[in-house]
Structure 1
Amino acid sequence: MAPVNPFCDINITTSPSRYAFGSPSSPNAPALVVDRPSGDMRLVESPISRGKRIGNVAGVLGVIRLRLDKYIIIITKAVLVGRIRGHAVYKVHTTEFLPLQERQLHDPDEDTYLSLLRTHLRTGPMYFSYTFDLTNSFQRQSSADTSLPLWQQADERFFWNRYIQSDLIDLRSSNPAADPFILPVFFGFLSITLTALKSTPLSFILITRRSRHRAGTRYFTRGVDESGNVANFNETEQIVIIGGSTAKVFSFVQTRGSVPVYWAEVNNLRYTPELQVRGVDSAMNSARKHFDHQIRLYGDNYLVNLVNQKGREQRVKAAYEHIVKLLPTKRTDIPDQLHYVYFDFHHECGGMEWHRAQLLLEQLGGGLYDQQYFHSVEGKFVSSDIRSYQTSVVRTNCMDCLDRTNVVQSMLARRTLNRQMVDAGVLGEGENTASFNSFEVIFRSVWADNADVVSQTYSGTGALKTDLTRTGVRTKAGAIADLSSSITRYFRNNFSDGPRQDAYDLFLGVHLPSSTSMSSLLFIDRRPIMIQSIPYVLCGAILLELAAFVLPRTTDESPLSMRIFALFWLAVALWATNFITKHGKLYVNWPRLNTPSFAVQGYNEELRSAKKDLIIGKWIGRGGNARERDSGAGGSGRLVHLEEGKKRIE
């Protein structure tokens, strides 16, 4: 039975009472009709001709309900990235929102919701194919039921628009003819390069799929939740395809994810946030769920931990090792399938001795060799011949699962690639892909680009240490670039990641806007006016201080009065600076939709402390009840306990 693939072309007609979607390439297929303003969906057999045609689109990304209205999100433009085994792969380029109602008046919350979603769609790298399942690795695809519609074959972890496809999936439960309108996309990185190695043409492909569970930004999403989902979980698959109609396919999969305990780093405007590690023993069930799931999917897990063994990171390392040590007391089968490997990356590779990262390969021992890789021979007219399966996975983490993790993953990928190419007969025994310059440039560039994209979506900047990935050498220029990225991360993590986290929660259905909310001004700043004014006081004091030294003076002006003027505004500037740094949590841009409990707790503590300030404390205001304080932090009562993790609403 031929699989049901999504429509690759959809015409949209609109009228005051409905939207109609139909595929011109499948004129006999039922058309999708969405009634306005109710949002009710149905399929009609006869083509829809009434209404105004508003264009041809690449697909329906989904339908989302906000505070006052539902919106159909359509992909207005998709860019061809390349082909995998003849299947075209696209990147979402532009999208558009089709409202079910025509609003005459603007609602502040609704407008903010739309702005968050548009930014997320504009900056988030999303990919799809009409005929190929991009959410699953080649190995998982080899055992998939290809007679199912494409969206039902998709790995639910990486089906990024699964929540906003809910209305179409519900319609499909009563009418399978809705299948062609359901288009799965994944969020992450994809590169397809046609190249050659030692005169052998091949396709070099790298795919990183980001999980939609516990997705978010660097400091607002850490650790594990009660369902066993960890922050910043990514599956990276390196693929090499040799040949045309009959091809050899080689695939190697790695994963990364946050340390699976309850921990957080609380922003406070200091360069190093406040580290909290809570309830290590209470996280046991969550960690067990996480590793049970990983073992079911990937087999044995080699847990490569790269956090520092000294300093503040040591607490996270100790918590991880405590969890891994206790797991065998809960399950008798886990000790044989979890292999903990610690490698102090910064200590071993200090002083720019990055070649010492190769020592990790020695620590992994035969584990990396024994796990094999996926290898199949595929043809257009013959069934796949599976030559080998990957039997385990390396799960790498550092604190952020970004910079150190990227370096190690590219190193492990190279080791396996060398082995694959020797086994395929492309390279001779003892040869290395690094010896072939043209391919080496591609390999390093693709892995560095992957590092930048994964880092951008989590931390707000490209990855650090990518000069090592791109060139194989750690340089002073790279160190300077890393310093610049670190400074940028500081400002973004403190002052712009709140809205980014809100966008994740909104798009993925973690936050469900309510039209019955008591407040229609969810995003306004509810901090006391005096607290809000301090940064402006600081800026004014700095300007007046500069003016005292820069502006021309009159001849009859007293030098003493000018000195007093300058000293006064210097004192004001120093006081304001001290107040902001001392009470930094009052000035962090926290998420407003699902404010973490540690953020609300920190905000309330800082507010109580600020009220004791000798200069302005008595003017800050009472702000005595919990509801007001929660709103001040953007919580509005929708709080999530750090020990439980974020609730993921499906």
Structure 2
Amino acid sequence: MEYSSGAYSSQAPSPEKSCELYIRDYPHRSIAIVSTSHTLILRYTTSTSEAIANGSLTSLAASTRSRGNPGEALVSKCMVEFAPVSRHLLQDYRRLTHRPIYGTLGLITVNSEVFLSVITHATRAATLRPGETVERINGVAFYCLSSADYDDVVPLESLDPEFSDSASVQSAPYGQGLGRREVAMEHPCHELRNLLSNGTFYYSTDFDLTNRLQDRPINSNSFEIDNFDDGFLWNSFMISPLVQFRSRLMPHERAALDSSRILTSAIRGFCKTMTIPLSSSPLKNVKSGMPSFMTLISRLSCRRAGTRFNSRGIDDDGHVANFVETETTFWSPAGTMFSYAQ
């Protein structure tokens, strides 16, 4: 195990925390997020009766106005299926990208099209204690569920510096031989992708990062999505449809979905761990010889965030502008952990 905090900058999440992305074009366009044991399949639909008949209707919170009838609101719907991985289930699917993903941030509707957001690049940012790590989001991607029009649209400026323009064809996510369009076309989620990839968003699949230590369950193995603090959950709008789908599952299916690490929660702020040698630790454990960890976690509230010029004061619900909660944790190999929040 690496105890140097400097190693976190280049350390990617462990393979067991990654998933694979598959797509099926016919008879209905579907995208599957496949973990080591289960798969989450999403398919766009406009038929409420069809979705209800299959028992897996999930409605997005965002609605779009119909062009033909401005008074009629069209709600985008997505059929979701969660099942164990099997060859029969994925026989008509092909790899959407050969690179691993690290869970989904949720669903969003842009210009009447439904997009699935996934984390494509992440690096280790902090380790509160063994088994509880925090990853920094370095790159995200948006894949359209309702249309194939954006399959070969690549970013005008690559988010990953290690891939050049000459390699864009080989690394094209929707298959080989798909290069840049003759006319540059901006992806509908281009600005949102840049925002989520700017290095200020963090997530954890080991524990609830939105809550302080004292508000989390004592058992670190439990991971209750229902207990997330919406005030610090920056992807709450996108992940809420999938959380609603999770609430309709059987208890054992719900536990399997949580353990698959497919659904992720993102905060915005700062996370970093400092390794304290045994000789400098205030709580020494001579038997283990392991160092102690001091971690700083700053959480920016999403309730009233914005530039200082546009976001000031307090709103009617008591949310102050740009509220930041900073938590300092200290873990000793003896099993003791302290937390101080301000």
Normalising by structure 1, report the TM-score. Answer: 0.34
Alignment of 1:224-243 (within 5 A): 224-242=314-332
Alignment of 1:476-625 (within 5 A): none
Please say if 1:251 is aligned against 2:322. no
Q: Paired residue for 1:206? A: 296
Structure 1 stretches lacking a partner, 5+ long: 1-6, 255-650
Q: Paired residue for 2:105? A: 61
Query: Deviations along 1:96-133, whole A, 9 cap, x unmatched?
Result: 11012122799xxx957522202211225111221122
Please say if 1:161 is aligned against 2:230. no
Please say if 1:40 is aligned against 2:78. yes
Q: Paired residue for 1:123? A: 198
Q: Paired residue for 1:70? A: 114
Deviation (angstroms), 1:18: 0.8
Task: State, as a whole percentage, how many aligned pairs show the same letter.
Answer: 27
Deviation (angstroms), 1:49: 2.9
Deviation (angstroms), 1:35: 1.2
* Distance in 2 separating the partners of 1:9 and 1:112: 25
Q: Residues 95 and 151 of structure 1: is their aligned pair in 2 closer, same or farther, counting only changes over 3 Å?
A: same
Alignment of 1:430-449 (within 5 A): none
* Distance in 2 separating the partners of 1:154 and 1:119: 25
Please say if 1:103 is aligned against 2:142. no
Q: Is the 8 A contact 2:43 2:78 kept in 1?
A: yes
Equivalent position to 1:88, from 133, 138, 144: 133
- Structure 2 SS opposite 1:82: strand
Q: Paired residue for 1:14? A: 23
Ranked by relative contact order (alpha carbons within 8 Å, sequence separation 6 or more), the top structure is 2
Deviation (angstroms), 1:198: 5.4
* Distance in 1 separating the partners of 2:203 and 2:91: 29
Q: CA RMSD in A?
A: 2.7
Deviation (angstroms), 1:137: 1.3
Q: Paired residue for 1:49? A: 91
Q: Is the 8 A contact 1:145 1:153 kept in 2?
A: no
Q: Is the 8 A contact 1:41 1:171 kept in 2?
A: no
Query: Deviations along 1:3-55, whole A, 9 cap, x unmatched?
Result: xxxx822221102221112212x2xx3x2111146552322435323211123
The one-letter code sitting in structure 2 at the alignment partner of 1:155 is D
* Distance in 1 separating the partners of 2:143 and 2:23: 10
* Distance in 2 separating the partners of 1:42 and 1:115: 25
Structure 2 stretches lacking a partner, 5+ long: 1-15, 47-76, 154-184, 282-290
* Distance in 2 separating the partners of 1:206 and 1:253: 10
Deviation (angstroms), 1:207: 0.6
* Distance in 2 separating the partners of 1:233 and 1:209: 8
Please say if 1:221 is aligned against 2:229. no
Please say if 1:195 is aligned against 2:276. yes
More strand by share: 2
Alignment of 1:124-139 (within 5 A): 124-139=199-214
* Distance in 2 separating the partners of 1:241 and 1:146: 14
* Distance in 2 separating the partners of 1:96 and 1:22: 16
The one-letter code sitting in structure 2 at the alignment partner of 1:95 is V
- Structure 2 SS opposite 1:132: coil
State the number of aligned residues. 238
The one-letter code sitting in structure 1 at the alignment partner of 2:329 is I
Q: Residues 69 and 173 of structure 1: is their aligned pair in 2 closer, same or farther, counting only changes over 3 Å?
A: same
Q: Is the 8 A contact 2:128 2:329 kept in 1?
A: no
Q: Is the 8 A contact 2:19 2:34 kept in 1?
A: yes
Deviation (angstroms), 1:222: 1.0
The one-letter code sitting in structure 2 at the alignment partner of 1:186 is I
Q: Residues 151 and 80 of structure 1: is their aligned pair in 2 closer, same or farther, counting only changes over 3 Å?
A: same
Q: Is the 8 A contact 1:206 1:236 kept in 2?
A: yes
Alignment of 1:456-475 (within 5 A): none
Q: Is the 8 A contact 2:127 2:273 kept in 1?
A: yes
Normalising by structure 2, report the TM-score. Answer: 0.63
Deviation (angstroms), 1:197: 7.6
Q: Residues 58 and 253 of structure 1: is their aligned pair in 2 closer, same or farther, counting only changes over 3 Å?
A: same
